[in-house]
Chain A
Amino acid sequence: MRVLLVEDDMAIVDALSSLLQSEGYTVVSCDTQSDACEFLAEQTFDIALLDVTLAQGTGFAVCAAAKQVAPDMPVVFLTASDDEYSTVAGLDMGAVDYISKPFRPRELLSRMRVALRRAGQTECVFTAADLRMDTASAQVTKAGIEVYLSALEYKLLLYFLQRKGQLITREHLRDAIWDTAGEYVSDNALNVYIKRLREKIETDPADPQIILTVRGLGYKVIE
């Protein structure tokens, strides 16, 4: 996935680029409207992250240019304040979302994924055995029957299903929960949540087939 990042604060550009790269994105960054428009004309991107206030030009102008060149590419604005005017203007211009600084890094990643899903760039539906999760409708079914999950359980399941086959440590899970809810949960609490999730999605919770325990290390979801 290629990301165009238009932001004039160097500290943010460095940190955000590293983060995005570690998530598997290719990042092209610039700090002015003119550079951004050049890149848009020359290269293709899957998603654009635009800072509203730039030293030269504005994020809005870049958005307009992006919509001309690649109307289906999702645009997410990074705004410095909760300025209602900017955000409404931004959404009117066709941006798919905005996030205001300061933001938690994984919050941004999550919103980018949502934006890409909506644009049809990534999968909406995740499956594992007879479990099916449709993020477009936020519906989870097991063997065709709908399963009702709490907000936390839904987020955990999505996290698991996006990383099928990978080892997921408890630390990963705690970080994920921190990023969405701002809470660090204890080991005990985490056990309880996983147990509750298993009770809902596993045919036999005592012998989990979907979310497997990797002794001493964490969990893994079957491919």
Chain B
Amino acid sequence: MGSWDSFVRQCLALALIMGACAGGAWYMVSPEAGLSCVISGMCALGFFAAVSLYRHQQVSRLALEIDEVLHGSSRVSFTNCHEGDIAVLSNELGKMVDRLRRISEQLTKERNALSDALADISHQIRTPLTAMTLMLPQVESATDERERKGALRQLEVQIDRVSWLVTTLLKLAKVDAGALQIVQQPVEVQAMIARAVSPLATSLDIHDIELVVRGDSLATYQGDVRWSAEALENIIKNCMEHTPAGGTIDLEVKADSLATIITVHDSGEGIAPQDLPHLFERFYRGERATHDHAGFGVGLSLAFSLISAQGGTVRAYNDQVVGGACFEITFPQMIV
């Protein structure tokens, strides 16, 4: 054993030095001095051997404990040694093992989440793909132009759904991985709202829903105008899907020294209480996911992620006074 060899070497070296001192004392001073040198030398050697052995024992025990951790046992806490240096080393090792353990748990959790997400995603895509495959024979077997057109149209709807799903999932993945480029700059709320509403203008018209914007028209906040607009667009789209024809979607903007708040309030039937806590979860479609509201449950999830990535928050609740769903987006004016 290497450490034993070095221990023996050290003892021999010490013995030699002591011997030399004793010899020198014997010849240069007197035999008694030499004898007392030999005796004190032997005491020193004995003391040295004892301390070395003790230290060696502590170190081997520490090494054994480290070995146990390496071989998978995660429930090891390092012994509290009394010996100064070893105690310090033991403490540091304890801390390092804790940190490594936490990292390992985190990675396992993330890996599981990722594989769950992949399973979810392939399931979600599989459904419209199956629908599309089934629609093809309908197109082929259609007897007249009108029927064929109708079948093709349904196919187009499914293709559109998958496109939307893929694009949104990609964005979500980018946000999750921190790979989305988010600029933090002053954003004018009015301009951001205009950008969010513009792609929905025709749909709002078709659904006969009025969009009203009121409140502080000069409000600003720190964020990314592009992703804010996209998040808001998703929220408004969700409101649109749950608001009957002739209804309104009201956007109120409030700004003070603490935060800028944008509240989206629709005149629909509101959010079911059991859905509220899960509203922003990926793929959550709600208890009343019917044929009409056949979404994938990713729009609100994306909105949540995009807003959070800019340092903002969003929460959903039902309006207690006039009913309808409310989405409150808050951008703090400064990071406290």
Chain A residues at the B interface, C-beta cutoff of 8 Å: 81-82, 84-85, 100, 102, 104, 150-153, 155, 171, 177-178, 180-185, 189
Contact across chains for B153 and A150 when beta carbons are under 8 A apart: no
Q: Apart from A102-B163, A102-B166, what are 13 other A-B pairs with CB-CB below 8 Å?
A: A81-B170, A100-B167, A104-B160, A150-B205, A151-B201, A151-B202, A151-B205, A152-B206, A153-B205, A171-B149, A178-B153, A181-B203, A184-B157
Chain A nearest CB: distance from B234 CB in Å? Answer: 14
For A181, the chain B residues whose CB sits under 8 A away are 202-203, 206
Q: In the assembly, what is the distance between CA of A100 and CA of B156, in Å?
A: 18
Contact across chains for B202 and A152 when beta carbons are under 8 A apart: yes
Chain B nearest CB: distance from A88 CB in Å? Answer: 9
Chain A nearest CB: distance from B173 CB in Å? Answer: 11
Contact across chains for B206 and A183 when beta carbons are under 8 A apart: yes
* Closest residue of A by beta carbon distance from B197: A151
**CB of B171 within 8 Å of the partner chain:** yes
Q: In the assembly, what is the distance between CA of A84 and CA of B205, in Å?
A: 30
CB contact list, B129-166 vs A, under 8 A? 149, 153, 156-157, 160, 163, 166
Chain B residues at the A interface, C-beta cutoff of 8 Å: 149, 153, 156-157, 160, 163, 166-167, 170-171, 180-181, 201-206, 226
Contact across chains for A85 and B203 when beta carbons are under 8 A apart: no
Q: In the assembly, what is the distance between CA of A81 and CA of B169, in Å?
A: 12
Contact across chains for B170 and A178 when beta carbons are under 8 A apart: no
Q: In the assembly, what is the distance between CA of A153 and CA of B149, in Å?
A: 25
For B204, the chain A residues whose CB sits under 8 A away are 151
Q: In the assembly, what is the distance between CA of A153 and CA of B171, in Å?
A: 32
Chain A nearest CB: distance from B188 CB in Å? Answer: 19
Chain B nearest CB: distance from A25 CB in Å? Answer: 23
Would you list the 8 A-B pairs with minimal beta carbon distance, nearest first?
A151-B201, A152-B205, A181-B202, A102-B163, A152-B202, A84-B181, A151-B202, A181-B203
Chain B nearest CB: distance from A107 CB in Å? Answer: 11
Q: In the assembly, what is the distance between CA of A102 and CA of B159, in Å?
A: 10
- Which of B166, B202, B226 counts the most chain A CB atoms within 10 A? B202
Q: In the assembly, what is the distance between CA of A42 and CA of B163, in Å?
A: 38
Quick one: given A81-B170, A102-B167, are A182 and B205 in contact (CB under 8 Å)?
A: no
Quick one: given A102-B163, A102-B167, A184-B153, are A85 and B181 in contact (CB under 8 Å)?
A: yes
